[in-house]
Amino acid sequence: MAARDDLAVPKLRKLSVIVPVFNERNTLVEILRRMRAVELPDGIESEIIVVDDGSSDGTRDVLRQLGDSTVRVVMHDMNRGKGAAVRTGFKHATGEFILVQDADLEYDPEDWPKLLAPVLRGRARVVYGSRFTGERRNMLLLHWIGNRFLSLTTNVLYNTTLSDMETCYKLLERSLIEDLQLQSNKFDIEPEITAKVLKRGVRIYEVPISYSGREFDEGKKITWRDGFSALWTLVKYRFRD
């Protein structure tokens, strides 16, 4: 049965932040420092769950030193993909709302309060951070075209007006995530989440965020092949019961 968008938004007391990691030794320390420094609104605590997806560059050694009472570390024995790491993190989360945070410094944790604001006002169960409406380091043209095309396809298929379907910054109510029954193991986790949320009649609230995109020589992992997979995922879930 489709979820109703007018259901009461649960009170946010704890924010669970899932950090999928694969070979991010050079940025991991800094992203965790920034995450720990975020000042959340009064009455909200956070838990950080780092899921290492079979890193082989020394990331695991760094994690063994960083794990403490504020950071929970979960290890995959082998590389299974971002989607698999995100889904593992979801299973360990205990907060009323869950946010995904990449470890590559493209997204700034200082934007967390922007994402939380609609939830705290009781206006949203799902909030996306849009890279196309806020301050940003411009993408290469092909990345920009790919992202805009996938967002346009989402809007046509699901009757919505998203500006950034592929954003990492997705803040979702935990009970809704549990209802989605996510299956994707790779980067197609992004369109799967979006498709299943929209199919349930839940509107997505967007807020502008800052963005500092990497390129392939800086360690970016998503490729044009993932764009085709995302397109197929959007079409598949639009017509699947």
- Among 3.90.550.10, 2.60.120.10, 2.30.30.360, 3.30.499.10, name the CATH number for the domain at 14-238: 3.90.550.10
Task: Give the span between the Cα atoms of 10 and 29, in whole angstroms.
Answer: 32
How far lies 63's CA from each of 73, 93, 97, in Å?
A: 7, 19, 24
Tell me the pLDDT tens digit for each residue of 34-71.
Answer: 999 999 999 999 999 999 999 999 999 999 887 677 89
Q: Is the pLDDT of residue 240 over 70?
A: yes
Residue 216: predicted pLDDT: 47
- Say if residues 230 and 187 touch (Cβ distance below 8 Å): yes
Residue 133: predicted pLDDT: 83
Q: Is residue 49 classed exposed, middle or buried when 0-12, 13-18 and 19+ CB atoms within 10 A define those classes?
A: buried
Task: Give the span between the Cα atoms of 33 and 19, in whole angstroms.
Answer: 13
What is the pLDDT confidence band of residue 164, given thresholds at 50, 70 and 90? very high
pTM for the full predicted model: 0.90
- Say if residues 129 and 114 touch (Cβ distance below 8 Å): yes
Task: Give the span between the Cα atoms of 133 and 141, in whole angstroms.
Answer: 17
